[in-house]
Amino acid sequence: MTLRVILVDDQALLRDALRTVLDSADDIAVVGEASDGREAVALTREVRPDVVIMDIRMPNMDGITATVDICADPELRATRVLILTTYETDEHIAQALRAGASGFVGKGIEAHDLMDAVRTIADGDTLLSPTATRSLVARFLATPVATPARDPEQLAALTPREREMVALVATGLSNLEIADRMYLSPFTVRAHVQRAMTKLRARDRAQLVVIAYQTGLAGTAFNGGTDQV
C-alpha cells in the first residue's frame, strides 16, 4: 500500500526538499502541494490523502486553523495531519493537539524519521517529538489545578510490560523506536500501548504521557534538557 501525502508550507524550496525525501520511499507518494492553509483544506477535500504534512505559520490561513477544518470534516476522517514546524513551543503543541493533529515534529527531523512519522500516524498512532513531549509535559505540570495528580494505584490495572511501555512512551519514543529498543515487533508494542490507553482511559497518546507523569511512572525523564532519548 502506498501512502498518499500532501505537503503544506509557504516555502517552495522546503516543499521541494520534502517531496524529494518522501518520494524516495517505496511506500510513500506526494500527491499534492499547498502554500497556505486555505489551499491545503481545498486540496485535501479534493485529493483525500492519507497524511497532510502541515506547517503552522503561513499567510491567508495558518496551519492550526487549516487542521481544525480538516479534522472537523467527517468526509476527511481517514486523513491524518502531521504538524512539521520550526516552532516547537508548548502553546503551538497544545493548539495542534486540540485541533486534531495526529503528530507534531520539528523541521530538524532526519529524513528517515520523517518517513517513519508519516507511516506511524497513517497507521492510526499519535506521534510527538521528544521536544514536543517535553513541552507538553511541562505545560501540564505547570497547571496543577487543571491537571491534578492521579492516584498511582490506577496503574495496578496495567501488566508489568504495559507499565514499561507507558514509561517509554512518556520519553517521546515512537512505537518503532520502542520496538527497536525492546527487541519487539512494532505490532506488539502498539498492542501493549493501546491496551494501556484503554485501561487508563486515555483518549490519545498525548494524554497517556500526561498520566505517566501524574502518577509518577515517568519520573524525571526530561530533566536533562536534551533531545536524545
- pLDDT tens digits for range 167-177: 988 877 778 88
The CATH number of whichever domain residue 189 belongs to comes to 1.10.10.10
Mean pLDDT value of segment 102-125:
86
The whole-angstrom separation of Cα 133 and Cα 227 is: 10
pLDDT at residue number 176 = 82
Q: Which residue has the higher pLDDT, 119 or 208?
A: 119
Q: In terms of DSSP bridges, do strands 103-106 and 51-54 run parallel, antiparallel, or are they unpaired?
A: unpaired
149-164: pLDDT as tens digits: 556 677 888 999 999 9
The whole-angstrom separation of Cα 151 and Cα 149 is: 7
Q: For residue 36, give every residue at least 6 positions away whose Cβ sits within 8 Å of its Cβ, in sequence order, or none.
A: 8, 10, 58, 59, 60, 61
112 shares its domain with 200 = no
8 shares its domain with 120 = yes
100 shares its domain with 172 = no
Q: What is the mean pLDDT of the chain?
A: 83
Structural domain harbouring 204: 149-214
The CATH number of whichever domain residue 76 belongs to comes to 3.40.50.2300
pLDDT at residue number 136 = 64
The whole-angstrom separation of Cα 31 and Cα 38 is: 17
